[in-house]
Amino acid sequence: MKYRLAFALIALAALTRLLPHPNNFTPIGAIALFGAAYFNRQWLMLAVPFAALFLTDLFINNVIYSELYGGQFILITSWWIYAAFGLVMIAGLGLLSKKVTGIRVLGASLSASGIFFLVTNFSVWAESGMYPKTAAGLAACYTAGIPFLGNTIMGDLCYSMAMFGVYEWAKQKNIRNAASIT
Protein backbone atom coordinates (compact mmCIF):
# COMPACT_ATOMS: atom_id res chain seq x y z
CA MET A 1 0.00 0.00 0.00
CA LYS A 2 2.80 2.38 0.93
CA TYR A 3 4.34 2.84 -2.51
CA ARG A 4 1.09 2.58 -4.48
CA LEU A 5 -0.46 5.40 -2.48
CA ALA A 6 2.69 7.52 -2.70
CA PHE A 7 2.82 7.03 -6.50
CA ALA A 8 -0.88 7.87 -6.79
CA LEU A 9 -0.62 11.04 -4.69
CA ILE A 10 2.40 12.29 -6.65
CA ALA A 11 0.68 11.53 -9.97
CA LEU A 12 -2.51 13.27 -8.87
CA ALA A 13 -0.62 16.30 -7.61
CA ALA A 14 1.43 16.45 -10.83
CA LEU A 15 -1.73 16.35 -12.93
CA THR A 16 -3.05 19.43 -11.12
CA ARG A 17 -0.24 21.38 -12.83
CA LEU A 18 -2.22 20.90 -16.05
CA LEU A 19 -5.32 22.59 -14.67
CA PRO A 20 -5.77 26.36 -14.65
CA HIS A 21 -4.28 27.82 -11.47
CA PRO A 22 -2.90 31.11 -10.13
CA ASN A 23 0.72 31.83 -11.01
CA ASN A 24 3.14 29.78 -8.88
CA PHE A 25 0.34 27.98 -7.00
CA THR A 26 1.65 24.54 -7.89
CA PRO A 27 2.48 21.20 -6.22
CA ILE A 28 6.17 21.25 -7.22
CA GLY A 29 7.61 21.80 -3.74
CA ALA A 30 5.17 19.37 -2.13
CA ILE A 31 6.01 16.64 -4.65
CA ALA A 32 9.73 17.00 -3.96
CA LEU A 33 9.22 16.94 -0.18
CA PHE A 34 6.77 14.06 -0.33
CA GLY A 35 9.12 11.93 -2.43
CA ALA A 36 11.98 12.62 -0.04
CA ALA A 37 9.85 11.71 2.96
CA TYR A 38 8.21 8.51 1.78
CA PHE A 39 10.46 6.78 -0.73
CA ASN A 40 13.18 5.12 1.30
CA ARG A 41 14.78 3.66 -1.81
CA GLN A 42 17.00 6.44 -3.12
CA TRP A 43 16.36 5.70 -6.78
CA LEU A 44 12.57 5.96 -6.23
CA MET A 45 13.00 9.13 -4.19
CA LEU A 46 14.76 10.70 -7.17
CA ALA A 47 13.03 9.05 -10.11
CA VAL A 48 9.36 9.40 -9.20
CA PRO A 49 9.23 13.12 -8.29
CA PHE A 50 11.63 14.12 -11.11
CA ALA A 51 9.61 12.06 -13.60
CA ALA A 52 6.41 13.77 -12.46
CA LEU A 53 8.00 17.19 -12.93
CA PHE A 54 9.59 16.30 -16.27
CA LEU A 55 6.52 14.66 -17.83
CA THR A 56 4.19 17.48 -16.83
CA ASP A 57 6.77 20.03 -18.04
CA LEU A 58 6.84 18.29 -21.42
CA PHE A 59 3.08 18.58 -21.73
CA ILE A 60 2.93 22.15 -20.44
CA ASN A 61 5.76 23.38 -22.66
CA ASN A 62 4.82 21.52 -25.83
CA VAL A 63 1.03 21.52 -25.69
CA ILE A 64 -0.31 24.23 -23.40
CA TYR A 65 2.36 26.86 -24.15
CA SER A 66 3.60 25.59 -27.53
CA GLU A 67 2.86 28.91 -29.24
CA LEU A 68 5.31 30.65 -26.89
CA TYR A 69 8.09 28.52 -28.40
CA GLY A 70 6.93 28.82 -32.01
CA GLY A 71 5.93 25.17 -32.11
CA GLN A 72 9.53 24.11 -31.42
CA PHE A 73 9.83 21.01 -29.19
CA ILE A 74 11.09 21.98 -25.73
CA LEU A 75 12.71 19.33 -23.58
CA ILE A 76 13.75 21.46 -20.57
CA THR A 77 12.88 25.14 -20.14
CA SER A 78 15.17 25.80 -17.20
CA TRP A 79 17.74 23.61 -15.49
CA TRP A 80 17.50 26.03 -12.59
CA ILE A 81 13.99 24.77 -11.79
CA TYR A 82 15.30 21.20 -11.67
CA ALA A 83 18.20 22.33 -9.47
CA ALA A 84 15.74 24.02 -7.09
CA PHE A 85 13.61 20.86 -7.12
CA GLY A 86 16.66 18.77 -6.18
CA LEU A 87 17.60 21.17 -3.39
CA VAL A 88 14.04 20.95 -2.04
CA MET A 89 14.37 17.16 -2.04
CA ILE A 90 17.61 17.44 -0.05
CA ALA A 91 15.86 19.74 2.43
CA GLY A 92 13.03 17.21 2.62
CA LEU A 93 15.48 14.43 3.38
CA GLY A 94 16.98 16.44 6.19
CA LEU A 95 13.70 17.58 7.67
CA LEU A 96 11.32 14.68 6.98
CA SER A 97 13.18 11.41 6.42
CA LYS A 98 13.42 10.46 10.09
CA LYS A 99 9.92 11.48 11.18
CA VAL A 100 6.97 13.20 9.53
CA THR A 101 5.06 15.57 11.80
CA GLY A 102 2.86 18.55 11.07
CA ILE A 103 5.48 21.00 12.33
CA ARG A 104 8.21 19.36 10.24
CA VAL A 105 6.02 19.43 7.11
CA LEU A 106 5.25 23.11 7.77
CA GLY A 107 8.96 23.91 8.14
CA ALA A 108 9.91 21.85 5.10
CA SER A 109 7.16 23.46 3.03
CA LEU A 110 8.29 26.98 3.96
CA SER A 111 11.88 25.96 3.23
CA ALA A 112 10.81 24.62 -0.17
CA SER A 113 9.19 27.94 -1.03
CA GLY A 114 12.29 29.84 0.04
CA ILE A 115 14.64 27.59 -1.92
CA PHE A 116 12.52 27.81 -5.06
CA PHE A 117 12.26 31.61 -4.76
CA LEU A 118 15.99 32.09 -4.21
CA VAL A 119 17.14 29.74 -6.98
CA THR A 120 14.65 30.68 -9.70
CA ASN A 121 14.96 34.41 -9.16
CA PHE A 122 18.74 34.10 -9.14
CA SER A 123 18.44 32.34 -12.51
CA VAL A 124 16.42 35.24 -13.94
CA TRP A 125 19.10 37.67 -12.77
CA ALA A 126 21.98 35.49 -14.01
CA GLU A 127 20.58 34.48 -17.41
CA SER A 128 18.30 37.25 -18.61
CA GLY A 129 19.18 40.75 -19.64
CA MET A 130 16.42 42.18 -17.46
CA TYR A 131 18.68 43.20 -14.57
CA PRO A 132 22.23 44.54 -14.36
CA LYS A 133 24.77 42.01 -13.13
CA THR A 134 25.32 43.91 -9.89
CA ALA A 135 24.21 43.50 -6.29
CA ALA A 136 21.58 46.17 -6.92
CA GLY A 137 20.39 44.26 -9.99
CA LEU A 138 20.12 41.05 -7.98
CA ALA A 139 18.21 42.87 -5.24
CA ALA A 140 15.87 44.36 -7.86
CA CYS A 141 15.27 40.90 -9.32
CA TYR A 142 14.39 39.42 -5.93
CA THR A 143 12.17 42.41 -5.18
CA ALA A 144 10.31 41.90 -8.46
CA GLY A 145 9.75 38.24 -7.55
CA ILE A 146 8.11 38.99 -4.19
CA PRO A 147 4.55 39.23 -5.59
CA PHE A 148 4.87 35.60 -6.76
CA LEU A 149 6.25 34.34 -3.46
CA GLY A 150 2.88 34.38 -1.69
CA ASN A 151 1.36 31.96 -4.20
CA THR A 152 4.44 29.74 -4.01
CA ILE A 153 4.10 29.56 -0.22
CA MET A 154 0.36 28.92 -0.38
CA GLY A 155 0.76 26.27 -3.09
CA ASP A 156 3.51 24.48 -1.18
CA LEU A 157 1.52 24.60 2.06
CA CYS A 158 -1.79 23.50 0.54
CA TYR A 159 -0.38 20.68 -1.56
CA SER A 160 1.92 19.51 1.26
CA MET A 161 -0.99 19.51 3.69
CA ALA A 162 -3.13 17.55 1.23
CA MET A 163 -0.49 15.01 0.19
CA PHE A 164 1.01 14.37 3.62
CA GLY A 165 -2.41 14.51 5.29
CA VAL A 166 -4.04 11.98 2.96
CA TYR A 167 -1.03 9.67 3.17
CA GLU A 168 -0.89 9.73 6.98
CA TRP A 169 -4.68 9.38 7.25
CA ALA A 170 -4.63 6.35 4.92
CA LYS A 171 -1.70 4.86 6.80
CA GLN A 172 -3.51 5.19 10.13
CA LYS A 173 -6.75 3.83 8.67
CA ASN A 174 -4.84 0.85 7.24
CA ILE A 175 -3.16 0.19 10.61
CA ARG A 176 -6.52 0.33 12.41
CA ASN A 177 -8.13 -1.98 9.84
CA ALA A 178 -5.25 -4.46 10.11
CA ALA A 179 -5.51 -4.41 13.92
CA SER A 180 -9.28 -5.06 13.82
CA ILE A 181 -8.79 -8.09 11.57
CA THR A 182 -6.44 -9.86 14.00
CA distance 24 to 149: 8
Q: How many CB atoms lie within 10 A of CB 142?
A: 17
Q: How far is Cα 32 from Cα 175, in angstroms, rounded to an integer?
A: 26
Work out the mean pLDDT of the chain and round it to a whole number.
Answer: 93
Tens of pLDDT along 108-152? 999 999 999 999 999 999 999 999 999 999 999 999 999 999 999
Q: What is the pLDDT of residues 70-95, one digit of tens each?
A: 889 999 989 999 999 999 999 999 99
CA distance 53 to 2: 21
The residue ranges of every structural domain in the chain are: 26-171
pTM, two decimals, is 0.91
